[in-house]
Structure 1
Amino acid sequence: MKRILGATIGSCVHVAGVMNFLSLAEREGYEVEFLGAAVSIDELIAAVKERMPDYVGVGYRLTPEPLREVLKELKEKIKAHGLDSGIKWIFGGTEPTAKVAEESGIFTKIFNGLEDIDEVIGFLKGYRRSTEETYPEDLISRIESKYPYPILRHHLGLPSLEATIEAIEKVAEAKVLDVISIAPDQNAQEYFFEQDKMDRRLDGAGGVPVRSREDFLALYRASRRGNYPLLRCYSGTSHLIEFAELLNETIKNAWCAVPLCWYNVLDKRGPRLLRDSIRENQQVMKWHGERGIPVEVNESHHWSLRDAHDTVGVATAFLAAYNAKKMGVKHYIAQYMFNVPPSLSPRMDLAKMLAKIELIESLQDENFRVYRQARAGLASFPGDLAQAKGQLASSAYLAMAIKPHIYHVVGFCEAHHAATAEDIIESCKIVRGVIRNAFLGLPDLVNDPVVQERKKQLVDEAMITLEAIKRLNPGAEDPWTDPDTIARAVELGILDAPHLKGNPAACGKLVTRLVDGALYAYDPEENRVLTETERIEKIFKRAEITVS
């Protein structure tokens, strides 16, 4: 175990910076000792000689002029006592004092207060970061290089290829983001391989108009700078395997995101029929699983975005992960979208996420590893940009309670305009500030009795939903992965959402109501909340299904 001694020197009594550094070091497995504030050079040298640490961290945050004489004395006594080899000296201070420290020639590492936590962690982990050196080039290595601190992801897709390339370059150089999610326009998602079908009036609508293999390669080249962020891209809504191959070969797609029941006639993002799309989406999961590429099945929040009650959100979160595992996925990215719908209370929102975590992570074994990805719901951001920044910070703070491996930053400006490079950088810095504060010590939100009670209720009710799906086809080898069974669950309304009313591919009969900050199934005729058992019984009775 490596040892670090820390102190402030001269007359400096500002110890917060040194203490934060030592706290980070302790989390990374170092043995740390704080010598105190305003420690004299003689006291510091005596302690170093006695303990012979691997590192000595000194801090100074006062005016820079007196520091020159202090460091001159320190340098002379380091040399006189033979402490200039075998021990690495570190300095932390302000930007002006850091310049003085650099001039002294004493220190192997100097922090001036402008660094992000990534650089501090990288130093403690032994990484020697430089613009020439490549950062971890795959998702799992990137996560492991930082955890328990989450890596950050943000989507980026401006209405022109040139603007998107320029934005990627700026974001990469800013070193604030680990993963850039390319957002292609809808024309690209649906018709990349059939471009004669594109409505050119819609070019750039919702994302960047990528139209060739070279376009994707250009986006990747733009990211090869700064902290070398990973790239990933939304899945297509047609030619799914061809699109997956293209992304893997051009941008080294960090992970695949594919739904189970969506990107078809349900959400009108393509003409695929429900059963066909379930089968095709499963094949996409399998294709990536066979190649060891992580997979995210972005299913659950699609139901919640359409005002499905919380139980459906929890049940479909499990169903998505279950399908991924059965398709051979080894590394599963579980997305936890907070604030969906925006009127959920923080307590009830956290309870819903904890219920999802309990069910999803019950699937973990040596061949199936789950990584948590948290984010804010897009609809929760107000158009007022100052308030939107508050919402970004608030949602991120709550999400830290689930200890995410990935935090998906949603640009504060999204309710107003598509995020530019500057917006993305500012949004990431806001979240990084939240993470920094959260790691000073959060209150125990998870074990709040109200949160735990609701979590248990949701787990129990989600299992009722899942068992009802099984009962639709007890003869199937595995009803939870059978496309016909899953599609029938949608058509009958076991999986349903109010926004699907009138959709011929779904039931659309579900009514939900917000009660005490949580979203429940509701019977408007009886004017009361329905338990999941009651709701399922009504569905079966309506469909005249008799199950023993």
Structure 2
Amino acid sequence: MRKILACTIGNCVHVAGTMNFLSLAEKEGYDPEFLGIGISIDQLIKNIKMTKPEMVALSYRLTPEPLVEILEELKARIREEKLEEITWLFGGTEPTGKVAERSGIFNKIFYGYEDIDEVIWYLKGKEYTEDEEYPKDLISRINSKYPYPILRHHLGLPTIEDTVEAIEKVAESKVLDVISIAPDQNAQEFFFDQGKMDKRLDGAGGVPLRTEDDFRKLYEAAQRGNYPLLRSYSGTKNIIKFSGMLQDTIDNAWCAVPLFWYSELDKRGPRKLKDAIKENQEVMKWHGERNIPVEVNDPHHWSLRDAHDAIGVADAYLVAYNAKQMGVKNYVAQYMFNVPAFISPEMDLAKMLAKIHLVESLEDENFRVYRQARAGLASFPADLYQAKGQLAASAYLAMAIKPHIYHVVGYCEAHHAATADDIIESAKIVRGVLKNEFLGSVDMTKDENVQRRKGELIRESKMIIEAIRSIGSNERDPLTDPETLSKAVKMGILDAPHLKGNPVCRGSLYTRIVSGAMYAYDNKEKRIISEKERLERILEELKI
């Protein structure tokens, strides 16, 4: 292990930055030692001769003028003791950093405004400014930074020109690792059948991409700054053909596809439910065969429609199971917090931990799970100052699950579509949260109420999975059989209050938030229904 000695010099007592640096260094495999505050040059040299470190990191954050003489003394002692082979680092403010720069002592100077990425890359022995160092695929990008998450944000403005300009600006800011392209709904459904587009809706919900060259323009716009990866929303029709086009044009970082949705269930596409399930599975298989990571962005769709927590947990397992069975090797599990918007933080965390427990039980040498966390859009208020607070609060809670990817949601989304400046500001807010995380945080996952609810949700979600298995045939795996899965929706094993009146599902579920968690609820008897009772009612009524 490479030895690092660190201290503050002069009469500086500001140690937070130094301790943060040493914490990062330890996680990168260094052997850090903090000597203390206000260490004299004599003390420093004595410790260096005793421990023989490879690196010495000094910090000074006070008035810059006294630092001049301190560094003159240090420079003379380095020459006298022949310590030039040591790598000397300095951290401070911009004025003290300039003094350190003029001294000619230091191999690397941190002026106080560097992002965490630059510090990590330096500790890894890489030069942050070299373009070729930015990993070009999702897994490599994650591995280059973990346990610190890579950041993504969606982007899709009403014109291609505005979107290209925004991507260029965001890429040059180096605040994101992934930009998610948001095509408008016309593109998602009718890209290969543009005669059916309603031109009045061009630009609704995203950028009006109409040709493969349009996608290539977006890719070229990202080839600058920190070279963010690009990915795009999947189509809602001709989706395998759409997937191929995305790979050819933007080198799609990973596929995001639902299992049940973008169908007659949510009316975001024309597909019959059973056909949608089958086609979505084929999309998973197509990407699995090409070793492209897959995200099945399904569980939060149930929660967004006020399904109770156990259904969201059960579906998280179900869709990950389907991805594995379709041959996906690298699976991105999305954990959307704040859904529904009034769930309490402790119950929200418990739900995510229950999902993680079940999803990661599927891991083996051929199936690796990567956690992606994000805030729920509906939790953002229209007041932009409050929205910034919500973005930071949700990000802090989400860090408890140690995500590999953090999907930044623009704080302004309840007010207006995010511009490049909004995206950069939102990403910087999250990066501020991450800086605090690196100092050490309370382990909220160990909270008694969180653990109790987690256990309860694991038990109830397993009942849902077993209920689905019970309605299948012996000839096919019921958890991947489109007939069985669509039947589970029709029967109400998987259900949500917002689906009432939809003929493809039961739509009879009532739910209510009680003590911060979402439960199935009996409106007549005014009480929570256990999952065992709810499922027994369904199976009894239908004589299963």
**How far apart, in 2, do the equivalents of 1:337 and 1:436 lie?**
22
Q: Check if 1:33 corresponds to 2:33.
A: yes
What is residue 438 of structure 2 aligned with on the other side? 439
- Between 185-194 and 431-440, the greater mean CA deviation after superposition: 431-440
What is residue 94 of structure 1 aligned with on the other side? 93
What is residue 253 of structure 1 aligned with on the other side? 252
What is residue 210 of structure 1 aligned with on the other side? 209
SS in 2 for 1:446: helix
What is residue 74 of structure 2 aligned with on the other side? 74
2:2–2:53 Cα contact (<8 Å) kept: yes
Unaligned runs of 5+ in 2: none
**How far apart, in 2, do the equivalents of 1:381 and 1:332 lie?**
28
What is the CA deviation profile of residues 261-285 of structure 1, one whole-angstrom value per residue up to 9, with x for unaligned ones? 0001111111111011101000000
**How far apart, in 2, do the equivalents of 1:231 and 1:96 lie?**
38
CA distance 1:25–1:134, shift in 2 (3 Å): closer
1:476–1:482 Cα contact (<8 Å) kept: no
What is residue 465 of structure 1 aligned with on the other side? 464
**How far apart, in 1, do the equivalents of 2:288 and 2:3 lie?**
42
2:7–2:37 Cα contact (<8 Å) kept: yes
TM-superposed deviation, 1:131: 4.8
What is the CA deviation profile of residues 62-115 of structure 1, one whole-angstrom value per residue up to 9, with x for unaligned ones? 122222222222222212222112x11111000111112122222111101101
2:299–2:312 Cα contact (<8 Å) kept: yes
SS in 2 for 1:519: strand
2:304–2:339 Cα contact (<8 Å) kept: yes
**How far apart, in 1, do the equivalents of 2:428 and 2:177 lie?**
13
2:166–2:419 Cα contact (<8 Å) kept: yes
**How far apart, in 2, do the equivalents of 1:81 and 1:336 lie?**
55
What is residue 282 of structure 1 aligned with on the other side? 281
**How far apart, in 2, do the equivalents of 1:7 and 1:515 lie?**
51
For 1:113-128, what aligned pairs fall within 5 Å after superposition?
113-128=112-127
What is residue 497 of structure 2 aligned with on the other side? 498
TM-superposed deviation, 1:541: 2.7
State the percentage of identical aligned residues.
68
For 1:114-513, what aligned pairs fall within 5 Å after superposition?
114-513=113-512
1:131–1:226 Cα contact (<8 Å) kept: no
**How far apart, in 1, do the equivalents of 2:361 and 2:132 lie?**
38
**How far apart, in 2, do the equivalents of 1:418 and 1:330 lie?**
34
**How far apart, in 2, do the equivalents of 1:270 and 1:436 lie?**
41
SS in 1 for 2:479: helix
What is the CA deviation profile of residues 270-325 of structure 1, one whole-angstrom value per residue up to 9, with x for unaligned ones? 11110111010000000111111110001100000000111111111100000000
**How far apart, in 2, do the equivalents of 1:133 and 1:104 lie?**
31
What is residue 9 of structure 2 aligned with on the other side? 9
**How far apart, in 2, do the equivalents of 1:207 and 1:104 lie?**
52
TM-superposed deviation, 1:190: 0.5
**How far apart, in 2, do the equivalents of 1:20 and 1:153 lie?**
24
TM-superposed deviation, 1:217: 1.0
1:131–1:227 Cα contact (<8 Å) kept: no
**How far apart, in 1, do the equivalents of 2:500 and 2:131 lie?**
55
**How far apart, in 1, do the equivalents of 2:531 and 2:194 lie?**
45
Specify the code of the residue in structure 2 equivalent to 1:281: N
1:307–1:341 Cα contact (<8 Å) kept: yes
Specify the code of the residue in structure 2 equivalent to 1:496: D
Unaligned runs of 5+ in 1: none
TM-superposed deviation, 1:483: 0.3
**How far apart, in 2, do the equivalents of 1:452 and 1:348 lie?**
9
What is residue 59 of structure 1 aligned with on the other side? 59
Specify the code of the residue in structure 1 equivalent to 2:220: R
**How far apart, in 2, do the equivalents of 1:249 and 1:88 lie?**
45
> TM-score, structure 1 length as denominator?
0.97
**How far apart, in 1, do the equivalents of 2:116 and 2:185 lie?**
36
- Between 519-528 and 65-74, the greater mean CA deviation after superposition: 65-74
- Between 329-338 and 126-135, the greater mean CA deviation after superposition: 126-135
**How far apart, in 1, do the equivalents of 2:443 and 2:81 lie?**
48
- Between 102-111 and 176-185, the greater mean CA deviation after superposition: 102-111
1:231–1:251 Cα contact (<8 Å) kept: yes
SS in 2 for 1:133: helix
**How far apart, in 1, do the equivalents of 2:400 and 2:62 lie?**
36
Specify the code of the residue in structure 1 equivalent to 2:3: R
**How far apart, in 1, do the equivalents of 2:486 and 2:428 lie?**
42
What is the CA deviation profile of residues 466-488 of structure 1, one whole-angstrom value per residue up to 9, with x for unaligned ones? 11111111323200000000001
Specify the code of the residue in structure 2 equivalent to 1:518: A
Specify the code of the residue in structure 2 equivalent to 1:534: E
Specify the code of the residue in structure 1 equivalent to 2:335: Y
TM-superposed deviation, 1:444: 2.5
1:154–1:179 Cα contact (<8 Å) kept: yes
**How far apart, in 1, do the equivalents of 2:320 and 2:281 lie?**
11
**How far apart, in 2, do the equivalents of 1:202 and 1:476 lie?**
45
- Between 125-134 and 319-328, the greater mean CA deviation after superposition: 125-134
SS in 2 for 1:334: strand
- Between 98-107 and 372-381, the greater mean CA deviation after superposition: 98-107
**How far apart, in 1, do the equivalents of 2:84 and 2:458 lie?**
60
1:134–1:228 Cα contact (<8 Å) kept: no
SS in 1 for 2:82: coil
Could you list the runs of 4 or more consecutive aligned residues of structure 1 that deviate by over 6 angstroms after TM superposition?
Answer: none
What is residue 19 of structure 1 aligned with on the other side? 19
What is residue 46 of structure 1 aligned with on the other side? 46
TM-superposed deviation, 1:41: 2.1
CA distance 1:273–1:62, shift in 2 (3 Å): same
TM-superposed deviation, 1:36: 2.0
SS in 2 for 1:268: coil
**How far apart, in 2, do the equivalents of 1:178 and 1:217 lie?**
18
- Over the aligned positions, Cα root-mean-square deviation in angstroms equals 1.2
Tell me the matched-pair count.
Answer: 544
**How far apart, in 2, do the equivalents of 1:533 and 1:10 lie?**
67
Specify the code of the residue in structure 2 equivalent to 1:45: I
- Between 123-132 and 317-326, the greater mean CA deviation after superposition: 123-132
